[in-house]
Amino acid sequence: MKSAATEPKITPDVVKAHGLKPDEYERFVKLLGREPSFTELGICSAMWNEHCSYKSSKKWLRQLPTKGPRVIQGPGENAGVIDVDDGQAIIFKMESHNHPSFIEPYQGSATGVGGILRDVFTMGARPIAALNALRFGEPSHPKTKHLVGGVVAGVGGYGNSFGVPTVAGEVNFHARYNGNILVNAMAVGIADTDKIFYSKAKGVGLPVVYLGAKTGRDGIHGATMASAEFDDKAEEKRPTVQVGDPFTEKCLLEACLELMASGAVIAIQDMGAAGLTSSSVEMGAKGDLGIELNLDNVPCREEGMTAYEMMLSESQERMLMILRPEMEKQAEAIFHKWDLDFAIIGKTTDTLRFVIKHGGEVKADLPIKQMGDEAPEYDRPWVEPKKPAVIAAADVPAPADLGAVMLKITGSPDMCSRRWVWEQYDSLIGSNTAQIPGGDAGVVRIAEKKAIAVSADVTPRYVEADPFEGGKQAVAECWRNISAVGAEPIAVTDNLNFGNPERPEIMGQFVFALKGIGEACRALDFPIVSGNVSLYNETNGQAILPTPAIGGVGLMRDWTKMATVKFKTDGDAILLLGGHGSHMGQSIYLREVHGREDGAPPPVDLAKERRHGDFVRALINDGAVTAVHDISDGGLATAVIEMALASDFGATLDAMDHVRLYAEDQARYVLTCPAKEAAKIITQAHVKGIDVIRIGTVTADATFKVGGTALAMAALRKAHEGWFPEYMAG
């Protein structure tokens, strides 16, 4: 093979800089039967890194439940596809953009949104909703405010400009994210079930077409950077962060959908991580075909780009397609109409080789299967996490002033209103949003009566304490949030954020969290159809809290029956479904009042979760309840206060101690109903073996009362709404 004399010499330091271990490089050399070119080394670095190959996680991902009666396409494609009846399909996925967002928060988070939107419309879907799950360091850390401001602005700037409503998500703070924030973006789209497009190349001698924006030098080594832990020089990696353009992406969406409708598209793949390398290798490897590219034809926005730079660039708003040759001119006209580049840069072959030509030279000639779906796979050593002791409720001291505790927890960084965040997002664009952020789940209409509900959930401190139970809880909470608005939970995407998998204790967290997630998904018939693994989330050896975010989708037959969290009527009965709680380990109360983060998290009874969720949905669909809220972080007191704050009402609750108010036992909901209907619901529940009791009344006097403790709702509202804007303005 011919190689340019100007290419750098490959040394052990160069190999290390590309993220390859010495044994991986030797494996690559053995595979080739010769030393690689510099471009080939770059391609191997891109395809064999953790971010693209899942080499540490494949073994365990295979054990997750991915099939079900509604699953059209599970993991392995750009996004998962679920049948929602009437010839409609929902296409969705969640991905991380953690490392780029820490380095450059605006562009990092913006391109995270752009990338996940492309994953969805690559498959022929029009995006209809976006979500995000954001985790930042402690508020007092000198970088946190800058990162919060940049990330939220980036998420909102891209999503709003593109024109997709952001309808749900979560934001949390913890010191363990000081050196490595998490930005997980999820997108949901809709398509006809008979018009879904896949990435598997088919046919020999067909044109490989480059579409969209021009290629620049931004984002080179982005995927490799995302597969390594940080050190104190993280900001020096800023050139590896891509720069996005949502307006170009919008044009790309419309051009792609128009081209798909023409019948010209055989296969399509967005250029995400590892850019042109990953997209072309994946298309060819899946289709058992070779790919030959001539980089002289790649549209470039910078002069003098090398083959190495073009293959590894992660410039945004780009696609790769295999087209029907007879429709090239028609396809080109569509893309030029949208002011986008269209260039035939190669062809499919029957050689199973990945061949790159540039300037009359062969820059790379590689076996395509081994670069793609036969990349290295590791069974990393792991140790089983030690289970912490259960904290007895009696050992958790009562507060001297219950009212002061309520104000403190309601206004704490993790429990306060996220209005400052979500008001920067357009939640209504498209005019189909039925429920905006602030409730249990976002709801978006997809037909006259039909809607989908979406939620993103995980409680990282639970996963840290007990990865198995914490993994179960993340799925169960997502299930509850979707059930709480009246939708049937139907499928899941995940974003598995962990530290360095080469450390056995971290790998143990991963293994047991996935065991818990898998068990919960099976028990709840909640299959995982797509997702992302993000490892090496640590800085100077300090790992993040294990954070397996779960994004769920539910189906609602009649959105007019949808439940919300806000109280509706003075005098309504307040019901507790699932009984009083007693588990205080890992609770918000324990952390915020006593400064403790210890103990076992609450166990998750999946049979109870299912039984309770099914019952709540039935009540909602029968119109029997006026408000619903699941109980999670902050326990019963927080749930009822949030319901009151969402309305103009107060509440009077029976006398309860701090344990009943702030225990975080699972499988529980707060319901309201007309007072005269309370006994009927309680009886219906008891017949099904479900514990429902009346615990209070909705009141018109704008006061929150528990036994002898009374707080003005105005004081609670000030605490709840005040923290975020005051923090960001300070």
Q: Which residues are catalytic?
A: 51, 97
Residue ranges in 606-730 assigned as alpha helix (H)? 606-621, 635-645, 658-662, 678-687, 713-729
Q: Are 199 and 77 in contact (CB under 8 A)?
A: yes
Q: Which of 556, 540, 581 is nearest to 663 (CA)?
A: 581
Closest alpha carbon to 536 in 497, 504, 509, 508: 497
- Strands (DSSP E) contained in 390-503 are 433-435, 442-445, 451-457, 488-497
* Helix (H) and strand (E) counts in the chain: 25, 28
Q: List Cα–Cα distances, 613 to 234, 582, 666, in angstroms.
A: 44, 21, 11
Give the Å distances, CA to CA, from 443 to 265, 433, 486, 530, 632.
32, 6, 10, 20, 20
Helix (H, G, I), strand (E, B) or coil at 190: strand
Q: Please report how the helices 713-729 and 144-162 are oriented relative to each other, as an axis angle in degrees rounded to 10.
A: 100
- Which residues on neighbouring strands pair with residue 349, listed in sequence order? 290
DSSP string, 561-609: G---SS--STTPEEEEES------TT-HHHHHHH----SPPPP--HHHH
C-alpha to C-alpha distance for 688 and 608, rounded to whole angstroms: 11
Phi, psi for residue 160 in degrees, rounded to 5: -65, -40
Handedness of CA 197, 198, 202, 205 (dihedral sign): positive
Lookup: tokens for 17: 């800089």
CA separation for the pair 237, 603 (Å, rounded): 41
Q: Are the beta carbons of 209 and 346 closer than 8 angstroms?
A: no
Give the C-alpha separation, 428 to 375, whole Å.
43
Amino acid at 73: Q
| Residue 401 backbone phi and psi in degrees, to 5 | -135, 100
